[in-house]
């Protein structure tokens, strides 16, 4: 194998596939990146057996030559060294040549590296997925949907299913739900799909976080293919495979209250900053709790008290409050996470009593919802 490639294209591809390479793996060859050169271009693959990423660099794109293939072939190179080397090469083009016994020469300008590679035939094959029943969604929307839900997955392995995001497709609507049993994030959006297809799967939160780092903010469509145990995301030059989590996701619809006793509309920025300030003292406490109370004339009092440190009280003017008076305590971190996920300048918070879950959403928009369980404080 021998080819010459534009350095920036190679660096970008290496960065993308590195997201799937793990240093802690029981299969030694998976600490490497697989490189395959054909007449069409160069394909890089990284995998940790949960996630696999394949990135393709075409011979030319938009009339610009990116790769010049001399001999086709394949090799697996140690990912950690290869990624560092490529990034620090001196010139804009890189020559990669595989010599006998998998020894690989990487040249750029006056710099020349020799790396010991491995036989690409030993590298595990990526899952073969039939692609006829894919659905499509635009890249920027998908990136947002991941951002607005994935933070709420559980980080504890006691209930592994909750470390994933539940994706449901029904009636051409994709609904993403994440919960760690103390809070819940939900986002839905229309997708392009055959009307009769429906899915209900759980994708690991870690996979979605890594995938969203690869996505840009374009309107290009991403193809999504779901099988029994894998999901495949296809963008222009990237295939991203992830295994699905086994098991049934809990039915979260019961958690979401249908009526409320107190509703308030607030300016997101003012409310977020007040919660942020209140959490300065709450952070030191065990559970980072802030208290919210309704006062006269639409004023909301936000306070926090840490006996060893001190206390903070701040008043925020709401745009409207309807319903019963309320005193409620909740985790400042959960509230900040939820507020950062929502879009728009205003939020509507609906409470059904001091000990019941409450809902935060953007007014006039039912595609997004954040739910938080309050904290008992006596």
CATH of the domain at 351: 3.70.10.10
Q: Are residues 167 and 245 in the same domain?
A: yes
The mean per-residue pLDDT over the stretch 236-256 comes to 94
Tokens 């999901």 — which residue?
A: 231
For the chain, state the CA radius of gyration. 25
Q: How far is CA 364 from CA 101, 171, 257, 272, 373, in A?
A: 65, 22, 18, 20, 23
Please tell me the pTM assigned to this model: 0.93
In a domain, 301, yes or no: yes
Exposure string (b/e) for 234-266, b if CB count within 10 Å is 16 or more? bbebbbbbbbbbeeebeeeeeeebeebbbebeb
**Do 95 and 162 reside in the same domain of the chain?**
no
Compute the distance between CA of residue 106 and CA of residue 213 in angstroms, rounded to an integer. Answer: 28
pLDDT band, very low/low/confident/very high, at 24 (cuts 50, 70, 90): confident
The enclosing domain of 160 has a CATH number of 3.10.150.10
pLDDT at 286: 66
How many angstroms separate the most distant Cα atoms in the chain?
A: 82
pLDDT over 60 (residue 378): no
- Note whether 362 and 282 are same-domain residues: yes
Q: Which of 25-29, 42-46, 68-72, 198-202 has the lowest mean pLDDT?
A: 25-29
Is 34's pLDDT higher than 90? yes
Structure tokens at 260: 């409320």
Let me know whether 32 and 113 are in one domain: yes
If asked whether residues 293 and 348 sit together in one domain, one would say yes
pLDDT classification of 156: cutoffs 50, 70, 90 = very high
Domain-located, residue 140? yes
Mean pLDDT of 320-342: 96
Phi, psi of 129 (to 5 degrees): -120, 130
Residue 251 corresponds to which tokens in the numbers above? Answer: 């039915």
Question: How is residue 366 written in tokens?
Answer: 């039912």
The DSSP annotation for 10-35 comes to: HHHHHHHHHTT--SS-SSGGGGEEEE
More confident residue, 195 or 75: 75
State pLDDT tens for residues 262-273. 999 999 999 999
6 shares its domain with 112 = yes
Domain boundary among 72, 100, 122: 122
Same domain membership, residue 142 and residue 116: no
What pLDDT, on the 0 to 100 scale, is given for residue 133? Answer: 75
Cα-based distances in Å from 210 to 54, 104, 240, 242, 261: 13, 29, 10, 10, 40
Q: Is 62 left (phi over 0), alpha (psi -120 to 50) or beta?
A: left
Please give the pLDDT value at position 25: 81
204, 164 Cβ separation under 8 angstroms: yes
What is the SS3 assignment for 272?
helix
Of the pLDDT bands very low, low, confident and very high (cuts 50, 70, 90), residue 337 is very high
Nearest to 259 by CA among 197, 198, 322, 206: 322
Query: In the prediction, which pLDDT does 294 show?
Result: 96
Looking at the domain assignment, is residue 129 inside a domain? no
Band (pLDDT 50/70/90 cuts) for residue 249 is very high
Same domain, 140 and 116: no
- How large a percentage of the chain has pLDDT more than 90? 87
Residue pLDDT, tens place only, 37-84: 999 999 999 999 899 999 999 999 999 999 999 999 999 999 999 999
pLDDT digits (tens, 9 = 90+) for 274-316: 999 999 987 766 678 999 999 999 999 999 988 888 999 999 9
| Assigned domain for 295 exists | yes
The token pair at 326 is 């309320």
Q: What's the whole-number mean pLDDT along residues 161-177? A: 97
Q: How many domains, the chain? A: 3
Q: What one-character DSSP code corresponds to residue 120? A: G
pLDDT value at position 284?
A: 67
Q: Which of 60, 89, 122 is the last residue of a domain?
A: 122
Section 232-260 average pLDDT: 94
Model pLDDT, residue 306 = 85
Helix H or strand E segment including 148: helix 139-150
3-state DSSP assignment of residue 269: helix
Distance CA(147)–CA(40), nearest Å, equals: 35
Same domain, 243 and 146: yes
Predicted pLDDT at 129: 85
Domain encompassing residue 209: 135-222+238-250
Do the domain assignments include residue 377?
Answer: no
User: What are the backbone angles phi and psi of residue 258, rounded to the nearest 5°?
Assistant: -95, -25
Residues 146 and 93 in one domain: no
Q: Is the pLDDT of residue 244 over 90?
A: yes
Q: Is residue 130 a part of any domain in this protein? A: no
Has residue 229 been placed in a domain? Answer: no
Got the DSSP string for 107-168? EETTEEEEEE-B-GGGSPPPPP---TT-EEEEHHHHHHHHHHHHTTS---TTSGGGGEEEEE
Domain match, 192 and 278 both: no
* 253: Cβ contacts below 8 Å, ≥ 6 apart: none
Please report which confidence band the pLDDT of residue 194 belongs to, taking 50, 70 and 90 as the band edges: confident
Last residue in a domain, options 58, 90, 122? 122
Statement to judge: residues 194 and 303 lie in one domain: no
Average pLDDT, the chain: 94
Closest CA to 236 of 213, 218, 249, 262: 218
Interval 74-127: pLDDT, tens: 999 999 999 999 999 999 999 999 999 999 999 999 999 999 999 999 999 988
Query: Would residue 378 count as lying in a domain?
Result: no
Distance CA 185, CA 187 (A): 7
């Amino acid at each position: 194998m021998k080819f010459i490639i534009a350095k920036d294209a190679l660096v970008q591809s290496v960065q993308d596939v590195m997201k799937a390479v793990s240093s802690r793996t029981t299969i030694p060859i998976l600490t490497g990146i697989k490189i395959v050169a054909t007449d069409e271009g160069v394909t890089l693959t990284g995998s940790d057996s949960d996630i696999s990423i394949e990135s393709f660099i075409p011979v030319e794109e938009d009339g610009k030559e990116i790769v010049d293939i001399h001999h086709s072939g394949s090799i697996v190179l140690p990912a950690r060294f290869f990624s560092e080397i490529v990034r620090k090469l001196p010139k804009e083009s890189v020559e990669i040549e595989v010599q006998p016994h998998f020894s690989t020469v990487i040249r750029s300008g006056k710099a020349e590296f020799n790396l010991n590679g491995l036989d690409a035939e030993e590298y595990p094959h990526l899952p073969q997925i039939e692609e006829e029943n894919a659905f499509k969604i635009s890249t920027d929307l998908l990136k947002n949907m991941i951002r607005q839900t994935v933070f709420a997955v559980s980080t504890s392995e006691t209930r592994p299913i909750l470390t994933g995001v539940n994706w449901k497709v029904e009636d051409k609507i994709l609904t993403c739900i994440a919960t760690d049993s103390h809070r819940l994030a939900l986002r839905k959006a229309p997708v392009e799909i055959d009307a009769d297809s429906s899915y209900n799967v759980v994708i690991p939160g870690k996979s979605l976080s890594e995938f969203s780092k690869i996505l840009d903010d374009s309107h290009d469509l991403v193809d999504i293919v779901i099988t029994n145990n894998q999901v495949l995301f296809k963008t222009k030059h990237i295939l991203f495979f992830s295994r699905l989590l086994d098991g049934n996701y809990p039915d979260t619809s019961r958690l979401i209250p249908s009526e409320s006793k107190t509703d308030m509309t607030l300016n997101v920025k003012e409310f977020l900053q007040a919660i942020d300030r209140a959490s300065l003292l709450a952070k030191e406490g065990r559970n980072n709790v802030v208290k919210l109370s309704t006062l006269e004339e639409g004023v909301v009092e936000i306070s926090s008290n840490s006996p060893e440190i001190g206390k903070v009280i701040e008043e925020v003017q709401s745009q409207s409050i309807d319903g019963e008076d309320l005193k409620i305590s909740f985790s400042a971190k959960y509230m900040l996470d939820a507020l950062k996920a929502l879009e728009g300048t205003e939020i509507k918070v609906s409470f059904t009593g001091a000990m019941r879950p409450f809902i935060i959403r953007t007014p006039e928009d039912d595609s997004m919802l954040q739910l938080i369980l309050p904290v008992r404080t006596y």
